[in-house]
Amino acid sequence: MRNWLVLLCPCVLGAALHLWHLWLRSPPDPHNTGPSAADQSALFPHWKFSHYDVVVGVLSARNNHELRNVIRNTWLKNLLHHPTLSQRVLVKFIIGARGCEVPVEDREDPYSCRLLNITNPEL
């Protein structure tokens, strides 16, 4: 079950971000009292509002800085230097709010923060 969640969460998040972006680009409805694109840019002044065909969300733990740099120095660097793809693909890192104190080798699995239960295993 957890494997499905690991696969589906980035897809759902990417689809939600894409729909939110399309909602921002749609013409304003005079009867709608929701936030406008100007309100959104006031909330996120460093974001550029433009059209992307693909939005990629890279899930990462807070302490995986070196792994994020590997992505930045390999395929993300090539993507950003490509004249066409850099305009069509948006890549964002999605980083957890807090780190995990349990070492990776002592965890139940590499993607959780639960301590491996050796004394009373659940069968």
User: Can you give the pLDDT at residue 13?
Assistant: 74
Alpha-carbon gap, residue 56 to 14, rounded angstroms = 6
With H, G, I as helix, E, B as strand and everything else as coil, classify residue 67. helix
User: Can you give the pLDDT at residue 58?
Assistant: 93
Helices (H), the chain: 2-25, 37-43, 65-73, 75-81, 85-88
With H, G, I as helix, E, B as strand and everything else as coil, classify residue 36. coil
Per-residue pLDDT of the chain (123 residues; tens, 9 = 90+): 566 666 667 777 777 777 777 777 666 555 555 555 555 566 666 666 677 889 999 988 888 889 999 999 999 999 999 988 888 899 999 998 888 888 888 988 887 888 988 887 666
User: Can you give the pLDDT at residue 37?
Assistant: 55
User: Can you give the pLDDT at residue 94?
Assistant: 92
User: Can you give the pLDDT at residue 91?
Assistant: 92
User: Can you give the pLDDT at residue 41?
Assistant: 60
Domain edges within the chain: 58-98
User: Can you give the pLDDT at residue 1?
Assistant: 59
User: Can you give the pLDDT at residue 40?
Assistant: 57
Residue with tokens 């740099």: 69
Cα distances (Å, whole numbers) of residue 91 to 36, 51, 53, 69 = 24, 13, 11, 13
**Bridge partners of residue 107, in order along the sequence:** 115
User: Can you give the pLDDT at residue 48?
Assistant: 62
